[in-house]
Chains A and B, each alone.
Chain A
């Protein structure tokens, strides 16, 4: 069940879907420029299309965590069903810092990222020797432990009711004050961190490390025979994606000024995986595309019909049936033909 279909049914020979485009040619320069221009101008065109700034911020946050997860899922071949745990730890870490310790938003983010990222780094080694569905299930198990703690530790986390009573504060950049409470300012604040996350993923993928990840996805056995410490590489991918998930979670807590146990639940982990698969998990921008579709469709459809879940379900089904490599994978395939 790794990203490369090694399950026995694949050998039946039906898997004639076009091989995913090689990762090193993505992101091609032109799409990247278009995407960045679009992202930079969101607060100006999104309201014209009936959106609102916080929706853009939410897309960025889900896109960020999905891109981080995709480093593990799409490029290294590790199906994690527990990344919500690191996302949620980032959220709680930041929320608790702001509530009890500091009024500095950057410091709170830093602590959130370290808490969530370290948790992924510490627990990563437990997972790396497993593959496929076993990998998925052990990541769920670890994630559910954290979920359990967040629900049970009432006095600190607020239990089922979630953590309230903190809010993002203005940031003083040497006399120039960022009014983060303003939705548009917070959008650009989030975009800044999104860019950092993108840069990290991009440079990893274009380093020898990234090539090793892809090689692991394609043929783990061969690399093992070559004497590579596969586990260490998967661990590194796990840790990096955990840090990015924690960063996204931290921003999510600031967006809502709230942290909830549902931020750590496996259901949210499942949503992250779905976003990756929907957008195209072999591509760099696929997860962002998946996040755009998932977040915007949910937001828009649930305002106009009670049966919005049917429409989202239909999107999933159609995407699987007609876009064999995710939406972006499909378009990229077209381009290169």
Chain B
């Protein structure tokens, strides 16, 4: 029983990762209409930049600077590569971002090397918080808290700032927003950068948990798409919920049948799609 409880807690942490990834992917899928297969590569980039920054500005500095640096690179990528894709079949975005991911993985390997690198987290975070519940380490709690904070900030941004309101409006009806004289190109650029920023943040956090390899983002990509589908396309809250659900489900299955912990998320998605075709909180007609 204790093992089950632990695995649920553990699944929550993994779920928060998926949720961070899924939020970014979902933003980009919604307003930009881009299936972003380079999200995992941006995640890895976030981790590696933080690795290089840590000796200079420390862990905490890197934790803040690296996601923004990755976001800026995302902004550049949007301007040069993504913008010509708007209005075209999303399949082309898949092809382009897949190509971008390949290039980024090569660059990371060339700059930082193919061998894995350790990413050191501060001592204050690296110890268990209690002797009995030794698996609740400071870093794990920190991870959940920070993810929740980042998510709350995003929701506040979308709810209370002008840009945020416009992004949400654009998500609902881009044509009308455009007709109202809002520069939708700038809106999409900002939106894309914010999505990538979340990938970068997930990357720094993942580096502390797993260490760095050039391919570290690849295995997180598909579960994040699954999270979006389970939660419902077009709903950010849904994406987050989807991430947590599949994380916890994988955790529970790990307790009883570890071998199936990978496949269970697909099973859940299949069931959700059969029972509730638009996902838990999805809207009808989006991206079909």
Contact = CB atoms under 8 A, between A and B. Distances in A.
Interface of A: 1-15, 17, 79, 126, 129-134, 137-138, 140-142, 144-145, 147-148, 152, 266, 270, 273-274, 277-278, 281, 307, 309-310, 312-317, 319-321, 324
B138 interface: no
Interface in B249-268: 259-260, 262-263, 266-267
Given A313-B106, A316-B98, A320-B96, A12 B269 contact: no
B262 A148 contact: yes
Contacts of A316: 95-96, 98-99, 102
A307 B87 contact: no
Contacts, number: 146
Contact of A324 (B88, B233, B288): B88
- Per CB-CB distance, the 7 closest pairs between chain A and chain B, nearest first, are A316-B99, A14-B87, A313-B102, A313-B99, A132-B288, A313-B103, A148-B263
B171 to A, nearest CB: 10
A63 B99 CA distance: 20
Contact of B273 (A1, A13, A130): A130
Q: How large is the interface on B (under 10, 10 to 19, 20 to 34, 35 or more residues)?
A: 35 or more
A210 B60 CA distance: 60
At the interface, is chain B mostly helix, strand, loop or mixed? helix
Nearest to B172: A8
Given A278-B95, A317-B81, A152 B259 contact: yes
Contact of B178 (A5, A12, A281): A12
Contacts of A145: 263, 266-267
13 contacts: A12-B178, A132-B287, A137-B225, A148-B263, A309-B102, A309-B105, A312-B99, A314-B103, A317-B81, A320-B93, A320-B99, A321-B96, A324-B92
B110 interface: yes
Nearest to B222: A266
B85 A320 contact: yes
- Of the candidates A11, A278, A310, the one having the most CB atoms from chain B within 10 angstroms of its own CB is A310
Interface string B178-212: 10000000000000000000000000000000000
Given A9-B33, A316-B95, 15 more contacts: A3-B89, A5-B90, A7-B90, A9-B87, A14-B86, A15-B88, A133-B35, A133-B233, A133-B287, A137-B226, A138-B270, A147-B263, A309-B105, A317-B81, A320-B93
